[in-house]
A and B are shown apart, each in its own frame.
Chain A
Amino acid sequence: MTAVRVYAWLVASDVRQELRRARVVVSAPVLGVLLVLLLGLALGAPDRLSADWSAGLLWMMVFFMNAVTARQTHTRDGELGARDALQMLPVDRSVIFYARWTTATLFLWWAQAVTIGAFFLFLHPSPPGRPLGFIAVQAMGGACMSGISGLLVTVFASSVLREVLLPLALFPLAVPLFLALTRLSAAMLAGNPWPSVWLDVVLGYLILFGALPWLVYETLLEV
């Protein structure tokens, strides 16, 4: 079995499992919409939000959504007893991580799409000046965040305090990413040109958290 086939099989099986049980695909967008409603109430039902506020609030919600749902796949593996079987696959173990990252990204993109829809519906921000750029930023941000949280879930898997430690470490580790995503989103919402320095930060994160699992994932899974 080649690594690519194992990867494709894992992604397909994860998506199938999730669609059958409908946990993250339902809970993450519902949580996102709830956060939008809470923000609307907290801000006193705003008539219009500025691009800076919209970008910041949007990414704050995505951060929470990601932190709350990141452990789901890991928990499911434990419930179904799949963890040992996965480790016996005859491929580099980082393939498991990349497959999990892909499915987590797909689910986060879905949750982001629903949340952003609710955000525009309830909080009335100005429509994006550069819609395609805005979508690209959302896609890159979702991929980066699910990558970081996926790695941290593995790091904290054996800690009894994992539920607290994940957000506690995720937020500080992802501060540059958060700043970059909010600046990029604000620029896309306002119709401004791409701020290249922030684009570099996002690409840097994608490369760093793309390469790190290949280097350390095997070490983390050692018994």
Chain B
Amino acid sequence: MKPNILFVALVGAWMLVFLWCALVLSPPEVHMGDLVRILYVHVNSAWTALLAFFVSFAASVGYLIRRRLTWDLAAASAAEIGLLFTTFTLLTGSLWGRPVWNTWWTWDPRLTTTLILWFLYVAYLLLRQTIDGVERRGRVAAVYAIVAFLDVPIIHESVTWWRSIHPTVIDDSGFHMPDSMTWPLLLGFVAFLLLFCLLFWLRFQLEITRMEAIRMREQIRRARGQAAHVQGGGR
């Protein structure tokens, strides 16, 4: 594995700047105090997860249209990273909710939607692991990924109609927070975006190497079959 050292350095440097801004430079909030800093990792984890699931959805559509394996591998890689960031979102949300709402879990629409999303993509990864045949796996997983992603807005809307107590810091009318907090959040978004790119690249490389191994195994099997055929013919 030879990751681009410059890119890794860029991600690392940006992360350090972001952490410094989020944990040191940005001011504490009037009511929540320093706990508001959890927001910088929590919100960005959620955005990155959604971005990853969107990439997985788009790659699945691409696979069904073009039927090229790289699209399927990209969809799988993005979904796994999306699941990782969804886990971060749930855990950091819970860690924020405990001191602020006095509970580890509440039936808030965004929390509930995120948990449902987590289950949907756990099922996606399990599905991929348990289907034989590269082509069949790609096709079935792509259909599932598309259905799951299209269902996410419906899940969110329905759970919102059900109940809502989640603070809304960003909506159609803009950011509802002071500039001193908006900047670390946006800086964090870029940092998480870069991190996503790095993880996606590493994960995608792993899939490519795996496919190479599968192809080589197939080659050996075919060579063995031919050898057995020649031996059988010789007799």
Q: Is there a contact between chains A and B in the complex with CB atoms less than 8 Å apart?
A: yes
CB distance B162 to A179 under 8 Å?
yes
CB distance B122 to A222 under 8 Å?
no
CB distance B154 to A156 under 8 Å?
no
CB distance A175 to B155 under 8 Å?
yes
On whether A158 and B140 interact (CB within 8 A), knowing A168-B123, A168-B126, A172-B119, the answer reads: yes
* A212 contact set on B, CB distance < 8 A: 147
Q: Does A3 contact B (CB under 8 A)?
A: no
CB distance B158 to A219 under 8 Å?
no
Q: Which of B132, B139, B146, B148 contacts A222 (CB 8 A)?
A: B139
Q: How many angstroms from the CA of A173 to the CA of B117 in the assembled complex?
A: 9
Instruction: Name the residue among A173, A208, A216, A219 with the largest chain B CB count within 10 angstroms.
Output: A173
Q: Does A220 contact B (CB under 8 A)?
A: yes
On whether A168 and B119 interact (CB within 8 A), knowing A158-B136, A219-B139, the answer reads: yes
CB distance B130 to A179 under 8 Å?
no
CB B33 to nearest CB in A, in angstroms, measures 35
CB distance B144 to A179 under 8 Å?
no
Q: Which residue of A lies closest to B121 (CB)?
A: A172
Q: How many angstroms from the CA of A164 to the CA of B148 in the assembled complex?
A: 17
* B144 contact set on A, CB distance < 8 A: 155, 169
Q: Does A80 contact B (CB under 8 A)?
A: no
Q: How many angstroms from the CA of A198 to the CA of B159 in the assembled complex?
A: 11
CB distance B130 to A161 under 8 Å?
yes
CB distance B130 to A173 under 8 Å?
no
CB A118 to nearest CB in B, in angstroms, measures 28
Sorting the interface of chain A by its residue count into under 10, 10 to 19, 20 to 34 or 35 or more gives 20 to 34
Q: Does A132 contact B (CB under 8 A)?
A: no
Q: When each residue 147-185 of chain B gets 1 if its CB lies under 8 Å from chain A and 0 otherwise, what string results?
A: 110110011011101100000000000000000000000
* B127 contact set on A, CB distance < 8 A: 155-156, 159, 161, 165, 169
On whether A173 and B126 interact (CB within 8 A), knowing A158-B131, A179-B158, A179-B162, the answer reads: no
Q: Does A46 contact B (CB under 8 A)?
A: no
Q: Does B64 contact A (CB under 8 A)?
A: yes
CB B135 to nearest CB in A, in angstroms, measures 8
Q: Does B143 contact A (CB under 8 A)?
A: yes
CB A161 to nearest CB in B, in angstroms, measures 4
Q: Which of B130, B151, B162 contacts A160 (CB 8 A)?
A: B130
Q: Which of A151, A159, A219 contacts B131 (CB 8 A)?
A: A159
Q: Does B55 contact A (CB under 8 A)?
A: no
CB B112 to nearest CB in A, in angstroms, measures 8
Q: Does A180 contact B (CB under 8 A)?
A: yes
CB distance B130 to A204 under 8 Å?
no
* B119 contact set on A, CB distance < 8 A: 168-169, 171-172
| B residues 86-132 touching A (CB-CB < 8 Å) | 112, 116-117, 119-120, 122-123, 126-127, 129-132
CB distance A172 to B120 under 8 Å?
yes
CB distance A172 to B116 under 8 Å?
yes
CB distance B147 to A165 under 8 Å?
no
Q: Which of B136, B148, B154 contacts A204 (CB 8 A)?
A: B154
Q: Which of A151, A161, A164, A176 contacts B155 (CB 8 A)?
A: A176
Q: How many angstroms from the CA of A148 to the CA of B151 in the assembled complex?
A: 12
CB distance B123 to A169 under 8 Å?
yes
* B143 contact set on A, CB distance < 8 A: 155, 216, 219-220
Q: How many angstroms from the CA of A175 to the CA of B158 in the assembled complex?
A: 8
* B112 contact set on A, CB distance < 8 A: 175
Q: How many angstroms from the CA of A197 to the CA of B161 in the assembled complex?
A: 8
CB B171 to nearest CB in A, in angstroms, measures 20
Q: What are 16 A-B interface contacts by the 8 Å CB criterion?
A: A159-B126, A159-B127, A161-B127, A164-B126, A165-B130, A168-B126, A169-B119, A169-B144, A172-B117, A175-B116, A176-B155, A183-B162, A208-B154, A216-B143, A216-B146, A219-B139
B interface list, Cβ under 8 A from A: 64, 112, 116-117, 119-120, 122-123, 126-127, 129-133, 136, 139-140, 143-144, 146-148, 150-151, 154-155, 157-159, 161-162
Known: A162-B130, A168-B126. 5 other contacts (CB 8 A): A155-B140, A158-B136, A168-B122, A208-B150, A220-B143
Report the 3 A-B pairs with minimum CB-CB distance, sorted nearest first: A176-B158, A169-B123, A161-B130
